[in-house]
Amino acid sequence: MSFAALGAAAGELTAGHPWNDPHGPGSPLARLVAHGGRVLLLGAPLDTLTLLHHAEALASAPGKRFVEYELPVLEGGRRVWRRFRDIDTDSGAFDYSGAVPAGEWPFTVIAREALAVGIGVRGRAGAAESVLFDAAALVRFGVEWLEAHLV
């Protein structure tokens, strides 16, 4: 999993990204939360809210799905194959079929419900409809939502 960051804390946010569980503890997403970061969806839809993968990684809900894969990496100047483990971000870390309406992306539902309880602010940035979320508040809400709805 790749992340990029700009600004004074960019190096600190992205350094030492864990090989396994790259959305969980110790990840750039976890560091963003710990640093009091915010996420701005600048004209982007709610279903693109990558930070909610961190909530999926942290949530203790039944049926969490993982994937394992191999990729080449450089170690000591040599190309070697390493095996990795992560939550399933392609097919979904959970079976959301009973928790969200058919045809809706789970992150859209979670983000919309977070906005409804006052987590996040909608507004315009230039011509773009945008949403600003406090990272820690959104992750807390996401974990609580997942653990309540995925039983």
Closest by Cα among 55, 13, 53, 50 to 34: 13
Give me the residues of the chain with pLDDT under 70, please. none
- Total length of the chain: 151
pTM of the model: 0.92
107 close to 89: Cβ distance less than 8 angstroms: no
The residues, ordered by sequence, that sit 6+ positions from 40 with a Cβ below 8 Å of its Cβ are: 125, 130, 131, 132, 133
Listed by start position, the domains of the chain span 23-61+96-149
> Per-residue pLDDT tens for 78-96?
999 999 999 999 989 999 9
Q: What CA–CA distance (Å, rounded) separates 140 from 146?
A: 10
